[in-house]
Amino acid sequence: MAFKPYVTSWDIQGFNAISFTHSNQKEIPLVNQEGVLSIAVLCGAHIDQEAIDYVSKNPMKHFAAFEIPAVYDLTEGALHHFKKRPLIGYAYYGFIRRYLEQNFDPPKVTPSHGNNR
């Protein structure tokens, strides 16, 4: 996770590439049932629409690795990321989406009506 006051598409693309490269450094090859998950969350006071479009499209595909870019708009309190389930990695995307929403999305506050004792 990192912060930039103004986040553009180029910013999230570069941050995502650096995050994935760092996450995917390994000295031995991946074997059965091993993989890498790289989630790059770039926070900003203003998120460019092209950056939102970039993180909302289908992520890059890799062998035994997931690369998930996301942007968090601090002004609006909104997390943007790929929300669908692609064919490749279908079984894992439910977990990834829940992880992002539980750890990076702000809590949903419902208005209180009266005294709830």
Question: Residue 19: CA atoms inside 13 Å, Cβ hemisphere, count?
Answer: 20
pLDDT higher than 90, residue 28: no
Regarding pTM above 0.85, the answer is: no
**Cα 43 from Cα 39, distance rounded (Å):** 13
Q: pLDDT grade, residue 114 (50/70/90)?
A: very low
Better-predicted residue by pLDDT, 90 or 55: 55
Q: What is the pLDDT of residues 38-81, one digit of tens each?
A: 888 999 999 999 999 999 987 777 666 778 899 999 998 899 98
**DSSP state letter for 88:** T
**Whole-number pLDDT of residue 22:** 85
Q: Tell me the DSSP string of 16-77.
A: HHHHHHHHT--SS---TT--EEEEEEEEESEE-HHHHHHHHSPPPEETTEEEEEEEEETTTT
* Domain edges within the chain: 2-22+39-104
**Whole-number pLDDT of residue 104:** 77
pLDDT higher than 50, residue 115: no
